[in-house]
Amino acid sequence: MLDILKIILPILTMLLIGRMCGHFGFISPEGIKNVKWLITSIFLPVALFHGIGTGSYSFYTALVFVMMFVVEGILLLGGFGLKRFFDEKRKPYVPFMMTIFEGGMLAYPLYMNLCGSENLAKIAILDIANAVFCFVVLLPIIRVQEDGVQPTAGALIKDAFSSPTFVGTMLGVVVGATGLLNAFLQTPAGEVYQSIESMVAAPLSPLILIVLGYEMSFKADLTKVCAKAVVLRFAMNMVLMIPVYFLIGLMFPGDKLALTAVLIYFIATPSLSIPTFIKKEEGAEFLSNSNSLFIILTLAAYIVIATL
């Protein structure tokens, strides 16, 4: 029991601090926006670059990418199929609730808290397809629905490479697959780099959790419809997690950290940033409130995983 408390209480404490900062106005909305900028523009890209860049790459890594891309597609198609269970106001936004995982702002800190930041590559590898799917498939669909315009290939590429987290991910893949970063780490300059990286990445998990706690919102009139969306998405996650867990076990036999990464990744919420792309307030509120409820479910599932 003590070991479980040592894992869970730090997370709950950071979330509570964030909630208190929002409730009592200790940090302004502008202030939390600046904190998010630091996370998404500096701390998280650095952690992704290092974590993915120091990972092990093989033919199986490419298979993981394909497998997770297919998972994202199944979730999106499932979301379109589940629209009929929601009222007209929520229907357009159901597919966006049913696909994409929140890796950087949720799955990563939970995984690092349990398995250590030095093993971040284990879960980051699962997230590469997520980043590509988001920019190549999901965002164009959102743009068509919200703006009525099909974005060009050039616009999609610009959007992707305007995201520091996407750039950090792709650069990590390049230096990881080529072995450049691991070779560099063996040099005296690599030791200096590691000291800097450790310092930059250290605040990542607590800051993310504070922001999550700050932004959690619950509206009583949305509880029922949001709870339905959360249960349906979580159920799809669990169904798809089973074959992924099995295949990861076959590809990386005996690697418990890789299997734990699958468990944590599949309990993560949908992307927390998608509501920012939604123009209608009712749609953004539906997605934001659903994510807030989902975080509670994620933490409950995380406690179960921590006991395994």
- Check residue 1 and give its pLDDT: 65
Residues 277-303 pLDDT 10s: 888 888 999 999 999 999 999 999 999
Give the pLDDT band of residue 157 (cuts 50, 70, 90): confident
Q: Cα separation of 257 and 58, whole Å?
A: 17
2-18+29-307: CATH topology: Na+/H+ antiporter like fold (1.20.1530)
Give the mean pLDDT of 93-109.
93
Give the mean pLDDT of 65-90.
95
Domain ranges of the chain: 2-18+29-307
| Dihedral sign of CA atoms 251, 259, 177, 64 in order | positive
- Check residue 42 and give its pLDDT: 92
Percentage of the chain beyond pLDDT 70 is 100
Q: Cα separation of 283 and 300, whole Å?
A: 26
Please state, in angstroms and as integers, the Cα–Cα distance from residue 199 to each residue in 46, 77, 294, following that order.
11, 41, 31
- Check residue 286 and give its pLDDT: 94
pTM reported for the whole predicted model: 0.90
Type of residue numbered 57: Y
Give the mean pLDDT of 91-104.
93
Whether 147 has a pLDDT exceeding 90, the answer reads no
Query: What's the whole-number average pLDDT of the chain?
Result: 91
